[in-house]
Amino acid sequence: MVGAARALTGWRIGAKTRTAEENRLSAFEAMVARDWDRFYRYAYRLCANSDDAEDLLSESLIEAFRIFDRYRGEGFDKWMFRILTTNRIDMARRAKVRQADSLDAGWTGNEGEKHSREIADVAADPERQVIGATYSEALQQALDDLPEEFRAAILLCDVEQMAYQEIAVALNIPVGTVRSRISRGRAQMRKTLEALGRKG
């Protein structure tokens, strides 16, 4: 406990003291570095593409550092998962408000010239290829079809291997709600996978 207090306050005996802000940043960076891969993997599975996952992770890390003084010293990963989940739900809500443009319509330049839209081949994304080796396209489609709340609970349980109580803490919901979301989400995924299996 004293070591943690020293790390966060800058109090040291016989050594050059650092400011509290420097210690706060150092402690935050160490905690993020310890679970970086888990945070990125979770963000990627929530968003289903690397660009959105990076945006979600960046936005969440900025928010987490801004409110780091509220962190109470236990379960940093669960605290970050809660922030990631909340921010992803907010991103999804904002995306619904955005107006969609037709990909066939193209766009007009400053001098009136017409341009066609070029779409990147997501299959060429190396990150997607590596992760794709672990998760099938059908499984990702089934995850994508889930409501955000169900997807978060399932990813924390099945991918991050968190216990129901830990998920409840991470998502700030009762354990019964965690069980319900996982059960309903798995049932919905099963239906989606069965439907995709019949198509293929």
Tokens read off for 188: 């919905």
* Neighbour-count burial of 22, counting CB atoms closer than 10 A to its CB (0-12 exposed, 13-18 middle, 19+ buried): exposed
Give the residue from 180, 135, 123, 162 showing the smallest Cα distance to 44: 135
Q: Whole-model pTM?
A: 0.61
Task: Tell me the one-letter amino acid at 155.
Answer: L
Task: Answer whether 46's CB lies under 8 Å from 149's CB.
Answer: no
Mean pLDDT score of the chain, rounded to an integer? 80
Q: What is the per-residue pLDDT for 63?
A: 95
Q: Sign (positive/negative) of CA torsion 193, 45, 171, 34? A: positive
* Residues 19-97+125-199, CATH architecture: Up-down Bundle (1.20)
> Could you tell me what percent of the chain has a pLDDT over 70?
72
| Average pLDDT score over residue span 118-145 | 66
Q: Outline where DSSP puts E strands in the chain.
A: 107-108, 114-115
Domain edges within the chain: 19-97+125-199
Q: Picking from 74-78, 129-133, 146-150, which range would have the lowest pLDDT averaged per residue?
A: 129-133
List, for residues 7-47, the tens digit of each pLDDT value: 444 444 445 567 878 888 898 999 999 999 999 999 999 98
In this prediction, residue 104 has a pLDDT band, given cuts at 50, 70 and 90, of low
- Report d(CA 34, CA 20) in Å as an integer: 21
In this prediction, residue 119 has a pLDDT band, given cuts at 50, 70 and 90, of low
Q: What is the per-residue pLDDT for 62?
A: 94
Listing DSSP states for 58-90 in one string gives: HHHHHHHHHTGGG--SS-HHHHHHHHHHHHHHH
Tell me which of 54 and 137 has the higher pLDDT.
54
